[in-house]
Amino acid sequence: MTTRRAELKNPLTNLKGRDIFLLTLAGLVLIGILWYFLLYSARQAEIDAANSQLDTLRPQVDAARLASAQLPGLRQEVAGLEVQRDTLLRALPPTPRFGQVLGEIRQNVLATGAQLDGISQSSGAAAGANIPAGVQPINISLTLDGTFGQLFGVLRSLEAMNRFSTINNLALSLGKVTSFDPQVGGQIGVTVYTYNPNAQGAAPAQPGAAPAPGAPASAPPAPPAGGNP
């Protein structure tokens, strides 16, 4: 009776070695399954997600490396463009010397033999115009009288100033024809681009910079319109 009670209190004592081995093996298998699903699978999913993100970022990294390799060349190119911009700005007639430009235009017109009846000017800055800071376009309207050849000569002289001017309007009116080379009235609109180094945002003048070709050290006052000098 005492032995029977001891066996009931400790049933493992009745298990054979094979049963204990099978139970131990089953426990190990259960622990392995739990480890796989709870730890290994979750960790593998994180690794796969990290690899996928790495594959997505790799083209961006390659592009960044390529851009970094091209950065010195781009800086050199930008520096060259800045030098070209400064050279172009120095070639423009200074805004304070605009009277010299008017005098040059008047002399060119009179050199063709045409008559300059009137000249007027206005600001040519258009809203949203894509022009560098400090560059100030000025519109000039010329009222002329002469033959076709003379007015054509005026146009050619204005085109010779194309480094800082554009012709944007031309209107001709023919009066009473009395000869094979009649007198023609003309209205020519010209936009002259000048540079004001004192304007907000303008690039500072380079020390020792050469003035615009053909520009004198100081500008004379604008002569009156019309008539021969």
Residues 184 and 111 in one domain: yes
What b-and-e string marks burial along 128-152, b requiring 16 or more CB atoms within 10 Å of the CB? eeeebebbbbbbbebbbbbbeebbe
Residues 83 and 107 in one domain: no
Residue with tokens 């936009």: 191
pLDDT at 124 over 70: no
pLDDT band at 162 (very low <50, low <70, confident <90, very high): low
Average the pLDDT over each of 114-118, 121-125, 137-141, 151-155 and give the range with the smallest value.
Answer: 121-125
Could you report the per-residue pLDDT of 188-204, keeping only the tens digit for each?
A: 988 888 888 776 555 55
Does residue 6 belong to any structural domain of this protein?
no
- Per cent of the chain over pLDDT 70 is 76
User: Could you tell me which residues come within 8 angstroms of residue 105 by beta carbon, excluding any fewer than 6 positions away?
Assistant: 119, 140, 142, 157, 158, 161, 190
How far apart CA 84 and CA 25 sit, in angstroms, is: 84
Indicate whether 147 belongs to any domain.
Answer: yes
Residue whose C-alpha is closest to residue 140's, from 172, 179, 101: 101
Considering the chain, what percentage of its residues have pLDDT values greater than 90? Answer: 0
In a domain, 123, yes or no: yes
For the chain, what is the domain count? 2
Instruction: Give a yes or no: residue 180 inside a domain.
Output: yes
Q: Is 16 exposed, middle or buried (0-12, 13-18, 19+ CB in 10 A)?
A: exposed
Contacts of 28 (CB under 8 A, 6+ apart): none
**Interval 6-45: pLDDT, tens:** 554 555 566 677 777 777 888 888 888 877 777 777 777 8
- Rounded Cα distance between 63 and 57, Å, is 10
The whole domain housing 144 covers 98-195
Q: Counting every residue, how long is the chain?
A: 229
Confidence of residue 104 (pLDDT cuts 50, 70, 90): confident
